[in-house]
Amino acid sequence: MTSSTILENVLEKKVLLLGNQGFARGALEAGIQVATGYPGTPSSEILETLAGAAKAAGIYVEWSVNEKVAFEVAYAASLAGVRAMVAQKSVGLNVALDPFMVANSVGVEGGLVVIVADDPSGHSSQNEQDSRWLGKFAEIPVLEPCDPQEAKDSVKIACELSEKSKLLVLIRTVTRVSHVRGDVTLGDISKERREPKLNRDIVYSGFMAVPKHQQHHQRLDSIRGELERIPFNRLEAKGGEKLGIIAPGVGYTYAKEAIQLLGIDDEVAVLKLGVAYPIPEKLVGEFIKNYEQILVIEEGFPYFEEQVKAIAYERDTRPRIFGKLSGHLPQEGELTTEMTAEATSKILGKQYVPVPQIIKSIEKDLIEIPERSLSLCAGCGHMSLYYAMKHAFKGGKKDSYGKNFIVCGDIGCYAVWLYPPYYMFNTHICMAASIGIANGFNKVGIEELVFAFIGDSTFFHAGMPPLLNAVWNNSKIIVIVSDNATTAMTGNQPSPSTGVNLMGDSSPIIKVEDIATAMQVPFVRVVDSYNIKQVMDTIQEARDSNGLAVIVGRRLCAEQARRQLRRRGLTITPPTVDEEKCTGCKLCIQELHCPALVWHEDTKKVTINPVLCVSCGVCSQICPTNAFSGGEGIDCL
Amino acid sequence: MIASNQNINILIVGIGGQGVLVASQLIGTVAVNSGLKVRISEDIGQAQRGGPVVSHIRLGGGSYAPITPLHTVDLVIGFEPLETYRNTVKFLKPMGDIVFNTRPIYPAWNPKEELHYPPIDKMAEIMKKIAREVIPLDAADLARKAGNPVAVNMVMLGAATAIALPFTPDAMKGLIKDTISRDITSNLQAFDYGFQRVKSR
């Protein structure tokens, strides 16, 4: 559905697009020639969609090793006069902040668009942050589209603004724009393809910060007027309303829904905004003059709410300004229609009943139902490493989860271990922090053995410097790298361990153990993640080596394996369970939580779901009564 | 059809792998082709690992927010009974309709081991207190009869078309034909079985 739709050039045609597909289409309409990024929810589909059309469109799309590199690659394209784009999630922009905060003042040549996808409520992130502040911090224009149509339109608008002002432009999106599908009217795909050319008479440097900064401010001033007039800004007012709502970005959709729900269309005026920096002071200033009460409905921190107060002060007008700071909306978590309706009705003195009477009346009849817990996929290599780590050492002082060692965790599918029933991680901070923090625990002198657990993509992203730090500063830690040859959590994107890049071109397969050896790590071993005894023995050897150790567990991601099997028309023969030998002890289920293990309440026995099983053989290895046997495995790949 | 300032809210719920997203995109595309405003939000969380999938489909000019407000859904299309119940009590409007597949998918493991999967007729009984119509069907069986055991989503789409989707069966089947690349005959047959099963209730 997607690649062909993205390339379709039937002008004015309406199609169903995911917000992120809208950004990809927008890139084609804007004439972006180089697009880079790193996978991260909720941004990953932007580059994935564009990559599907890259060869046909004659453009270059790259997953870079991390967001800092991604920014630098795209920036170079921009300096060469070509339009470029970077896409990443919120915390990804944090990684790119170093070059971002110099390029802002040094300026661009070809339009440079940076798309940052925030994750309010942190559904798939280690935090929730409002990246509009990063645009303000960098003093560059920030656009805030509210739906898939605006997402598409924003890229071309951003490119034109960028080239006019010579500033890079930030587009801030959120989950409820990027991951929403909506009707989008297509525009014309740009046929312009510029020849890259670096002006070698200019030195693109941040040096001489003060004059650079002055020039930066002049460039910003030159487009303030135009930013007020962007079509994403729109006043919806008849006059004489009791309440004025300022609704930037997706906040607009919640505001309109609440107004409709409460039936107060005539009582509320709405200033829809799609520019977050510089704040459209004229529009806002004119708006707040007309109402005694203002409510700001925005996704994120009270960004507009704070600045609207400053604008009011400057214009000598004193409406009461409500929002998150006033306590009408929560300062944490994402917006909902219910909280928006609650806030609006409270201010207007209206009644709002979110739960209909009939539902209230049956509340006592509702039954408690089981949750579905998180688990790794059937046959996941991380899972067997988890089992081996947990059982590698007997004795020692155990914590409340039965562990007698410390594990610094990292970003990836294995993050599931933060939750019940695993509870494997003691820390879980950011990309490759597992190794950095493990370093620190060892240096500060914690008595327990310290592990760092990290995947291959995360290792390539940011794990090399802290490993080098461990060598150079003599940290005694055991680093377990689970290499499944992919970036799995975000949707199985290729990584330096896969053998192919985003353009589909083959590339060398980089091996973690080669890097560790080159760094002179004293103990480097490669193990078969599925071989429990081998992994446990190696972990014990690593501990006995009394120094820095890297153990690489290698097995292809089970989901990738299942896909490859399907594609090649191969089937797996799962192990059989001997009903006589199975005592129903549930050890396999409790230790592995493998979705392919099916517990039967009636027979009190375990069977295997052949659709999910890849015959990794781990259950066979750990069953205390040897009830599993046979199974033709995943080694055929 | 839907008036320009009205909307219809549909929820499709199920487990990752059942085809919830394909079904919701099909409805969305038919809607766009009919000139309707469309907003679909997908909560897919742990779908790859057997977790629940919820798709909020909002059709018509009267919808704004990406997620359906609580207790405003007109039609719940449930591919799995437990997820149908879970989302009905949260999102179905009083006198809304429910059509659901009665074949359960048991949780691989749940944090409260003492909480068992409730009896389906118990859940249906509670849902009947809110809904106008609660229509159970064994979509897994109908899909198998159609020759395509994984086409539960097609059966459910057929069922939904027979009750509350604002599109004709021909419009839906036309798009299925254009979109699905494999097993077109059995997929369309599955759709028909679902449609007939509900139409003839």
Q: Quick check: A420 contacting B, CB < 8 Å? A: yes
Q: In this complex, do A257 and B69 lie within 8 Å of one another by their Cβ atoms?
A: yes
What gap in Å lies between CA A591 and CA A386, rounded to an integer?
A: 9
Q: In this complex, do A180 and B41 lie within 8 Å of one another by their Cβ atoms?
A: yes
Q: Which chain A positions have a beta carbon within 8 Å of B87's beta carbon?
A: none
Q: Taking residues B65-74, what's their average pLDDT?
A: 96
Residue A508 backbone dihedrals phi, psi, to 5 degrees: -65, 150
Query: What is the number of residues in chain B?
Result: 201
CA-nearest of A412, A451, A612 to A535 is: A451
Q: Looking at per-residue confidence, does A263 or A634 come out higher? A: A263
Residue of A nearest to B105 (CA): A372
Above 80 in pLDDT, residue A597?
yes
Q: What is the CA radius of gyration of chain B?
A: 16
Residue of A nearest to B44 (CA): A179
Query: What is the number of residues in chain A?
Result: 637
Above 70 in pLDDT, residue A89?
yes
What gap in Å lies between CA A33 and CA A46, rounded to an integer?
A: 14
- Decide if A322 contacts A328 (C-beta within 8 A): yes
Reported as a pLDDT band with limits 50, 70 and 90, residue A636 is low
Count of A–B CB contacts within 8 Å?
Answer: 147
Residue B151 backbone dihedrals phi, psi, to 5 degrees: -85, 35
pLDDT of residue A612: 85
ipTM: 0.95
Q: In this complex, do B42 and A181 lie within 8 Å of one another by their Cβ atoms?
A: yes
Q: What is the edge-to-edge ordering of all strands in the sheet holding A320-322? A: A234-236, A268-273, A243-248, A293-296, A320-322
Distance from the Cα of A298 to chain B's closest Cα (Å) equals 13
Above 70 in pLDDT, residue A343?
yes
Q: Quick check: A236 contacting B, CB < 8 Å? A: no
Residue of B nearest to A421 (CA): B111
pLDDT tens digits for A176-235?
999 999 999 999 999 999 999 999 999 999 999 999 999 999 999 999 999 999 999 999
Q: Of the candidates B41, B49, B115, which has its C-beta nearest A595's C-beta? A: B49
- Decide if A33 contacts A83 (C-beta within 8 A): yes
pLDDT of residue A601: 81
- Quick count: other Cβ atoms within 10 Å of Cβ A450? 22
Optimal mutation site among B84, B109, B122, B129, interface A, most CBs of chain A within 10 A = B109
Exposure class string for A29-41: b at 16+ Cβ within 10 A, else e: bbbbbbbbbbbbb
CA-nearest of A433, A447, A349 to A399 is: A447
Above 90 in pLDDT, residue B14?
yes
- Quick count: other Cβ atoms within 10 Å of Cβ B57? 27
Mean pLDDT of all residues belonging to chain B: 92
pLDDT tens digits for A504-536?
999 999 999 999 999 999 999 999 999 999 999
Mean pLDDT of all residues belonging to chain A: 94
pLDDT tens digits for B135-166?
999 999 999 999 998 899 999 999 999 998 89
pLDDT of residue A1: 44
- Those residues whose C-beta lies under 8 Å from the C-beta of residue A580, and which sit 6 or more positions away, are none
Q: In this complex, do A370 and B86 lie within 8 Å of one another by their Cβ atoms?
A: no
What gap in Å lies between CA A538 and CA B64, rounded to an integer?
A: 57
Above 50 in pLDDT, residue B107?
yes
pLDDT of residue B47: 59
What gap in Å lies between CA A455 and CA B96, rounded to an integer?
A: 46
Q: Of the candidates A147, A176, A359, which has its C-beta nearest B94's C-beta? A: A359
Q: Taking residues B114-139, what's their average pLDDT?
A: 94
Above 60 in pLDDT, residue A132?
yes
Q: Taking residues B87-99, what's their average pLDDT?
A: 97
Q: In this complex, do B64 and A257 lie within 8 Å of one another by their Cβ atoms?
A: yes
What gap in Å lies between CA A577 and CA A630, rounded to an integer?
A: 9
pLDDT tens digits for A394-420?
777 788 877 889 999 999 999 988 887
Q: Which chain B positions have a beta carbon within 8 Å of A14's beta carbon?
A: 32-33, 35
Distances (CA, A) of A81 to A75, A139, A159, A206: 10, 22, 12, 19
Q: In this complex, do B70 and A338 lie within 8 Å of one another by their Cβ atoms?
A: yes
- Decide if A501 contacts A61 (C-beta within 8 A): no
What is the share, in percent, of chain A residues with pLDDT greater than 90?
Answer: 85
pLDDT of residue B46: 63
Q: Quick check: B110 contacting A, CB < 8 Å? A: yes
What is the share, in percent, of chain B residues with pLDDT greater than 70?
Answer: 95
Q: In this complex, do B50 and A595 lie within 8 Å of one another by their Cβ atoms?
A: yes
Q: Quick check: A593 contacting B, CB < 8 Å? A: yes
CA A187 from chain centre, in angstroms, equals 28
Reported as a pLDDT band with limits 50, 70 and 90, residue A426 is very high
